[in-house]
């Protein structure tokens, strides 16, 4: 939790939201209980800063951002430094990665060792990643 009492978006957010939505479909409850659950879910989504479209995408895909650490390492960007210095930016990168429509292509590039420069054709995070590469404070060598 942050000091304001709101949760910060972490690495497990997409999976947790998707899990809650899947569980919602299995709930056998009164209309009042379902309405209360819906309000709680809406508050959680608002606290995490997700749009309705992002929530739907995360729920339907069971998405994750497992490719992001591979890409950051290939680009020689320190995920540790990024987490320490710009945690919300890292969360935004994870969220975009989790909702990406090119996971198979990315996974194939990772397996083939051709991620760099191939990712630039399809990655939703390409502009931010280019900026991060230019910032010495995020270099793996720093």
Nearest Cα residue to 142 out of 93, 101, 81: 81
Please state the rounded mean pLDDT for residues 21-39: 65
Same domain, 93 and 71: yes
Same domain, 79 and 38: no
pTM value is: 0.59
Q: Is the pLDDT at 130 greater than 60, yes or no?
A: yes
Kindly report, residue by residue over 105-122, the tens digit of the pLDDT: 999 999 999 999 899 999
Nearest Cα residue to 43 out of 5, 88, 87: 5
4 falls within a domain = no
Neighbouring residues of 97: CB distance < 8 A, sequence distance ≥ 6? 65, 67, 68, 71, 124, 125
Same domain, 57 and 78: no
Encoding tokens for residue 81? 């430094």
1 falls within a domain = no
Same domain, 42 and 76: no
Beta carbons of 72 and 82 less than 8 angstroms apart: yes
R_g over Cα of the chain = 17
Give the range of the structural domain holding residue 18, as residue numbers without chain letter: 13-61
Same domain, 33 and 95: no
């Amino acid at each position: 939790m942050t000091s304001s009492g709101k949760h910060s978006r972490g690495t497990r957010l997409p999976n947790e939201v998707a899990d809650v939505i899947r569980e919602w479909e299995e709930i056998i409850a009164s209309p009042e209980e379902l309405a209360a659950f819906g309000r709680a879910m809406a508050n959680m989504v608002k606290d995490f800063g997700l749009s309705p479209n992002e929530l739907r995408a995360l729920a339907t895909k069971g998405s994750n951002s497992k490719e992001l650490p591979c890409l950051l390492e290939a680009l020689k960007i320190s995920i540790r430094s990024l987490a320490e210095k710009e945690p919300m930016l890292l969360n935004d990168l994870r969220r975009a990665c989790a909702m990406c429509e090119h996971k198979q292509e990315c996974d194939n590039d990772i397996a083939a060792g051709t991620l760099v420069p191939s990712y630039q054709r399809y990655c939703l995070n390409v502009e931010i990643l280019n900026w991060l590469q230019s910032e010495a404070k995020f270099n793996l060598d720093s």
